[in-house]
Amino acid sequence: MASLGHVAMGFAVARAHEQRFNWRAAVAFSTFSLVPDLDVIAFRFGIPYAAQFGHRGATHSIAFALMMGVAAFLLTRSWKSTIALTVVVLSHPLLDMLTDGGLGVALFWPFSAERHFFPWTPLPVAPLGTGMLSWRGLRVLLIEAVAFLPLWIYAFTKRKVPA
């Protein structure tokens, strides 16, 4: 998946968390929505894609999202922020499970290293690296722009205050 969907999720969660659009919150939650993909540095260390610490491995698990939530609570002491951060980090592997390529997501790591997809995979997998600067990369971005349009609309729409 290109990162557009993950960023849209971060913006939408920020909007829900703040009750209005807030750039700082949107950037923060979007950043956390991308944290699971830090596992791509494993390639630099010779860790293969299919390894439990390879791409879409341990950092794409429920356990990782919960660990991030615990860290958020220890830093903020706010249950509201903790839940929002956990949701946004967990959304990453769930969205990746909707893609049509790769090896799947190790959602249940450390209990299982098995990789999973949802039965329905409507999102094309994004090419890695400079491959995003190709026609295929542009196609993926356009599909994600349409697929995640409702989240963008929600994030930027002003909420009507009840009378």
- Which sequence spans correspond to the domains of the chain? 35-148
- Other residues' Cβ atoms within 10 Å of the Cβ of residue 45: 7
**Residue ranges of E strands in the chain:** none
The residue type found at 12 is A
The residue type found at 46 is G
pLDDT tens-digit readout, 25-71: 999 999 999 999 999 999 899 999 999 999 999 999 999 999 999 99
Least confident of 4-8, 16-20, 156-160: 156-160
Cis peptide before 127 (omega within 30 of 0): no
- Other residues' Cβ atoms within 10 Å of the Cβ of residue 100: 12
pLDDT tens-digit readout, 84-139: 999 999 999 999 999 999 999 999 999 999 999 999 999 999 887 788 889 999 99
What's the rounded Cα separation, in Å, for the pair 124 and 44? Answer: 25
pTM exceeds cut of 0.95: no
What pLDDT does 91 receive? Answer: 98
Terminal C-alpha separation, the chain: 42
